[in-house]
Structure 1
Amino acid sequence: MNKRQARLFAIGSTIVATVAFLGLTLDSHRQFGRLTNADKITPQVTLGKDVWHKNNCINCHTLFGEGAYYAPDLTKITKLRGEAYLTAYMKDPSKFYDEQKHRRLMPKQDISDVEIAALIAFLDWVSNVDNQGWPPRPLLVTGATFPGSDVSAPASAGAGKAPGSAPPAARPTTSSDNPIALGERVFRSAAPACTACHSIAPGVNMAGPTLAGLVARTSTLLAGSDYKGKATDVDGYIREAVVSPSAHVVPGAMYSANGQSFMPNTYGKDLTPDQINQLVAYLTSLK
């Protein structure tokens, strides 16, 4: 190739690349409305975006992988947690952990109920944006869980006692106690702790299946003909799974043998009725 040919090749390649770039840019702009669900941007969503910025949430959290990486990415949070959980958490994060023991530093923002609802609406809009699978994996935070915690009496269900012994007396609850927050503590500190076998991260199966998407899977199961238990709704199924795990065994699953679930069947007597109610409230918040 002589100099003239090389020059023509360079010019031609530049023109082709420029045309391709402009074409892809125009095509992207053509699809932005559909990919971002622009028609779903309501005044409440806009208010939620303003709440997000006003409280500098991005200083700790990330959206679409962009942010401070100090706290979890919230791009798909409303796909994983229900409105009741998110509302209770934003009202008072300290109900869900002990800052002195677990060093979770989510501050109490003291935002109004209207702002909380708007922020959830904004995060729900974000979760429905077609982000082409980005970020490629959940961004988790070390120390985000605290298995074995004995933060409060309800959270210490069964901790440190011999199997078959009487459950501890539950402390009186107050109007400030949130059943979802208390249920999460039971989830992390019952004996044996649910976190020893179950993850709440999508696709992370341990000794037991992940509980991410539990409500959606349960609804599908109850609507079909394969369910063998006695529950008629999601709450009832989760309660049955906690108290009588072998009432329904998923066919062919690796978590059972000879019709018996590998999950302990002692929670019904080791947890108090209040603790079971709290645990069910927490588990039904896992969408």
Structure 2
Amino acid sequence: MNKRQARHFAIGATVVASAAFLGLTLDSHRQFDQLTHADKITAEVKRGKDVWHKNNCINCHTVFGEGAYYAPDLTKITKLRGATYLTAYLRDPSRFYDETRHRRLMPKQDLSERDIGDLIAFLDWVSNVDNQNWPPRPLLVSGATFPGSDAAPGQAVAPGGRPVASGYDPIALGEHVFRNAAPACVACHSIAPGVNLAGPSLAGLAARSAALLKSGAYHGKASDLAGYIRESVTAPSAHLVPGAMYSAGGASFMPPGYGKDLTPAQIEQLVAYLSSLK
């Protein structure tokens, strides 16, 4: 290739690359309203964005990967924590996390109830934006893991860490649901004794549940272990676990939509897995 040919090649490549970039940019702008659900931007969402900026939440948190990385990314927080939990948390974060035990402490912002509601509306709008699963960042602060929550997503593992060879083992399939449901159960529950996250540890769940059903303190409708676990998944407010971290105003912090979002088969697989946690 001589100099003239090289020059023509460079100019042609630049023109093609520029045209491709311009086309992709225009196509992105064409889809922005659909991808961001612009029709869902209400007055509450706009005011919630103002609350977010006024309280400098971005100094510690990120959304869409933008912000500080001192605290968890909140892009999908409402998918992992329901409005009931987030409301109680924003009222008084110290009820949920202790700096000494959990190595984190969110300052109490003294937000009004309206501010809290609008902020959650903003974060809920953020969580529904189609961001193509970017950034691929977990809820936990970078580098932090809790026992019982650090297995690879989708890994079929029986209690005790034994890999399961058969893809049809109901316990292995239930383990997969536990780690891959939306939101993932493992985002709020550990299977390690004494490690309570947003929800109580599920270590020893079978024995504790059997004792609860016999104690007279149970207020739900189940009559056996499988029924109690099934009820806890599909109707989490039927029986409330004592503790300010887990419920408020007679409603569980656990998302109520698993009964609709999971298939009957997935629920039974999850019941099989949780029943195995002796």
Question: How would you bin the TM-score normalised by the shorter chain?
Answer: 0.5 to 0.7
How far does residue 118 in structure 1 lie from its aligned partner after superposition? 0.2
Task: Find the residue that maps to 2:253 and give its secondary structure.
Answer: coil
Within 5 A, what are the aligned runs for 1:54-73? 54-73=54-73
Is contact 2:63-2:73 (8 Å) kept? Answer: yes
Counterpart for residue 127 of structure 2: 127
Task: List per-residue Cα deviations over 1:47-100 (Å, max 9, x = no partner).
Answer: 000000000001111111222111111100101111100000000001113334
CA gap of 1:54–1:97, structure 2 versus 1, over 3 A, is same
Is contact 2:85-2:247 (8 Å) kept? Answer: no
Which residue type is aligned with residue 74 of structure 2? Answer: L
Is contact 2:71-2:141 (8 Å) kept? Answer: yes
Larger Rg computed on CA atoms: 1
Task: Find the residue that maps to 1:118 and give its secondary structure.
Answer: helix
For 2:117 and 2:132, the matched residues in 1 are separated by 27
Counterpart for residue 266 of structure 1: 208
For 2:19 and 2:87, the matched residues in 1 are separated by 49
Which residue type is aligned with residue 241 of structure 2? Answer: I
Counterpart for residue 276 of structure 1: 241
CA gap of 1:203–1:53, structure 2 versus 1, over 3 A, is farther
Task: Find the residue that maps to 2:19 and give its secondary structure.
Answer: helix
Counterpart for residue 285 of structure 1: 253
Whether 1:110 aligns to 2:110 is: yes
CA gap of 1:37–1:108, structure 2 versus 1, over 3 A, is same
Aligned length: 197
For 1:65 and 1:215, the matched residues in 2 are separated by 19
For 2:26 and 2:183, the matched residues in 1 are separated by 40
Counterpart for residue 49 of structure 1: 49
Whether 1:24 aligns to 2:1 is: no
CA gap of 1:37–1:203, structure 2 versus 1, over 3 A, is farther
Counterpart for residue 166 of structure 2: none
For 1:16 and 1:110, the matched residues in 2 are separated by 55
Counterpart for residue 8 of structure 2: 8
Counterpart for residue 39 of structure 2: 39
Is contact 1:71-1:141 (8 Å) kept? Answer: yes
% of aligned pairs identical? 63
How far does residue 286 in structure 1 lie from its aligned partner after superposition? 3.4
Whether 1:82 aligns to 2:24 is: no
CA gap of 1:19–1:98, structure 2 versus 1, over 3 A, is closer
Counterpart for residue 92 of structure 1: 92
Is contact 2:64-2:135 (8 Å) kept? Answer: yes
TM-score of the aligned structures, taking structure 2 as reference length: 0.59
CA gap of 1:198–1:266, structure 2 versus 1, over 3 A, is farther
Task: Find the residue that maps to 1:266 and give its secondary structure.
Answer: helix
CA gap of 1:23–1:102, structure 2 versus 1, over 3 A, is closer
CA gap of 1:45–1:74, structure 2 versus 1, over 3 A, is same
For 2:13 and 2:63, the matched residues in 1 are separated by 37
Task: List per-residue Cα deviations over 1:208-260 (Å, max 9, x = no partner).
Answer: 8437758899xxxxxxxxxxxxxxxxxxxxxxxx8xx9xxxxxxxxxxxxxxx
Structure 1, unaligned runs of 5 or more: 146-194, 218-241, 246-261
CA gap of 1:197–1:100, structure 2 versus 1, over 3 A, is closer
Which residue type is aligned with residue 48 of structure 1? Answer: G
How far does residue 20 in structure 1 lie from its aligned partner after superposition? 1.0
For 1:110 and 1:212, the matched residues in 2 are separated by 35
For 1:64 and 1:215, the matched residues in 2 are separated by 18
CA gap of 1:196–1:68, structure 2 versus 1, over 3 A, is closer
RMSD between aligned residues: 3.8
TM-score of the aligned structures, taking structure 1 as reference length: 0.58
Q: More displaced, 14-23 or 82-91?
A: 14-23
How far does residue 137 in structure 1 lie from its aligned partner after superposition? 3.4
Which residue type is aligned with residue 141 of structure 1? Answer: V
